[in-house]
Amino acid sequence: MKLSNRTLKGLLLFFCILLLSTAAASAQTISNEYKFNTTDTYRIFLADGSEFVGKFLGKTDTEVTISTNSIPKIEIPFSNIKKIEVVNSSHLRRDGSYWFPNPNPTRYLFSSSAIPLNRKEGYYQNSYLFLNSVNVGVTNNISMGGGLEIISTFSPDVRPIFFLTPKVSGKIGENFYAGGGMLFLNADETSLGITYGVATYGNTDNNITAGMGWGFYEGEFSGRPILTVSGMKRFKRRASFVSENWFVPFDEGSYYGLFSYGIRFFSEKIAVDLAFINNPDIAEGIIIGVPYVDFVIKF
């Protein structure tokens, strides 16, 4: 059957109208999906990967208008929007700028804070390239971790060293967290580790943690506790100062200290620690301390 030119033009016009009405309906659906107000701050993700953070000014059926720190008024078509989030007020600076959440707030260099991992959150950590670990939030207050070092896997005479790191922690008050856990390590059929408790004051960006733990070796616990004092201070959108300090029981009732200080650089999913481990004995040979490097990937 041969169609006339008039019929073809009619069909073409029909399909154009159909496509336009579908796009309009889609934009209308997106418009109705989000309930805006003038008090919250919104983070708008676009299909091309860019994003805007700002206050709601108004909307039509096809676009939303917001005001950002640098742009007084910007109109964004709903058809270009992939996702919209309400920004937690704790991530807004006094000048109105937005700082994304710290991707690694639950751990300093080696030791952990009392801030818990949320359920289904997790991260992979690699220290010195050969020490690997993974931690996952089982619930909002219970996490489970484990890892191994890979150098011993290449030796036929030494069994791989692996470890487990369960932790229970949670918020007990405004800016106060408490928790406890264990580091269990198995090395060449020898079991040792630490059971510990920690208390943290602060938030996910700026906090200080005090910890106390008892080491054990082949089922025998130490008579005196190991003490830790650690902290982090976020001073840039993508950087924090991190310090972790250990005080280990030594001879005749004394304690031996190990101190660390460094910078954590991070994006929303990846963090890299560049730090130094030091004390008076180390400083005699290496004045700035022993370099420490790790990276963390959040998932």
Question: In terms of CATH, what superfamily is 122-298?
Answer: monomeric porin ompg (2.40.160.40)
Please state, in angstroms and rounded to a whole number, the distance separating the CA atoms of residues 265 and 279. 24
Structure-token pair, residue 74: 């910007």
pLDDT of residue 200: 99
Among 95, 120, 117, 96, which residue's Cα sits nearest to residue 107? 117
CATH fold of 37-98 reads SH3 type barrels. (2.30.30)
CA angle 276, 216, 152 (to 5 degrees): 60
* Measured distance between the N- and C-terminal CA atoms of the chain, rounded to whole angstroms: 58
pLDDT of residue 18: 41
Mean pLDDT by 10 residues, the chain (299 residues): 57 49 46 78 92 92 91 92 89 87 95 96 95 97 94 77 95 97 86 95 98 91 94 97 96 91 98 97 96 97
pLDDT of residue 193: 92
Range(s) of the chain covered by CATH 2.40.160.40: 122-298
Listed in sequence order, the residues at least 6 apart from 116 whose beta carbon sits closer than 8 Å to its beta carbon are 106, 137, 140, 141, 142, 143, 167, 169, 170, 171, 177, 179
Range(s) of the chain covered by CATH 2.30.30.520: 37-98
pLDDT of residue 150: 87
Query: What percent helix, strand, coil does the chain show, rounded to 5?
Result: 15, 50, 30
Structure-token pair, residue 228: 């830790």
> Maximum distance among all alpha carbons in the chain?
104
pLDDT of residue 255: 95
User: What is the pTM assigned to this prediction?
Assistant: 0.79
